[in-house]
Amino acid sequence: MEDEVLNIGEVARRGGVSVETLRYYEREGLVEVAGRNANGYRRYGDDAVRQIRFIKHAQEVGFTLKDIKELLSLKADPGASCCDVRGRAEEKIREMEAKIAVLERMRSILADWAAACPDTGPVSRCPILDALENEMDERRGGMSCLPPGRGA
């Protein structure tokens, strides 16, 4: 069975993205145009819709477009193995765990500050604002709740 020839709007609709997003994916080398018709309009095959859905699913589990491009390269490489893909997934998990740890530290600090706030009194004596100001002073001295390279 031959692939159905689709225009850009139909591919975008079936893939659940905007036409602008589809054009961006094309520029980034994530989706290929099957060709152009006599008027110069892009034509796509059914594989473009599958590719867009792959991209969206990969984004939903945390892969960046750069990661997805690597995954698509692995998918197209007959010499690549499942182990290569697993390695990318494990690397993404490690990145997520590091981000979660930072978010948990940030949440803990904010929770402590919120608990210290009496809900009454002038804003000039707000412990949250004081803590934010003092944190900036401490960071100038090299102390921070965030890892190096993050924040101000």
Name the token pair of 12: 């975008």
Handedness of CA 28, 31, 34, 40 (dihedral sign): negative
Indicate the pLDDT class of residue 2, thresholds 50, 70 and 90: low
Q: How far is it, in rounded angstroms, from Cα 142 to Cα 25?
A: 41
Q: How far is it, in rounded angstroms, from Cα 51 to Cα 1?
A: 19
Provide mean pLDDT across the span 91-117.
Answer: 95
Q: How far is it, in rounded angstroms, from Cα 114 to Cα 112?
A: 6
List 42's β-bridge partners, or say none.
36
The alpha helices in the chain, defined as continuous H runs, are 8-15, 19-27, 46-60, 65-76, 82-116, 127-140
**Is there a contact between 72 and 31 (Cβ–Cβ < 8 Å)?**
no
Provide mean pLDDT across the span 106-112.
Answer: 93
Summarised one tens digit per residue, pLDDT across range 26-79 is 999 999 888 888 888 889 988 999 999 999 999 999 999 999 999 999 999 999
Structural domain boundaries in the chain = 8-62, 97-140
Summarised one tens digit per residue, pLDDT across range 3-40 is 688 999 999 999 999 999 999 999 999 998 888 888 88
**SS3 track for 111-150:** HHHHHHCCCCCCHHHCHHHHHHHHHHHHHHCCCCCCCCCC
pTM of structure: 0.74
pLDDT at 66: 96
Q: How far is it, in rounded angstroms, from Cα 59 to Cα 5?
A: 26
Domain 8-62: CATH architecture, name and number where available:
Orthogonal Bundle (1.10)
Summarised one tens digit per residue, pLDDT across range 88-100 is 999 999 999 999 9
Q: What is the Cα Rg of the chain in Å? A: 24
List 35's β-bridge partners, or say none.
43
Q: What are phi and psi of 43, to 5 degrees?
A: -125, 140
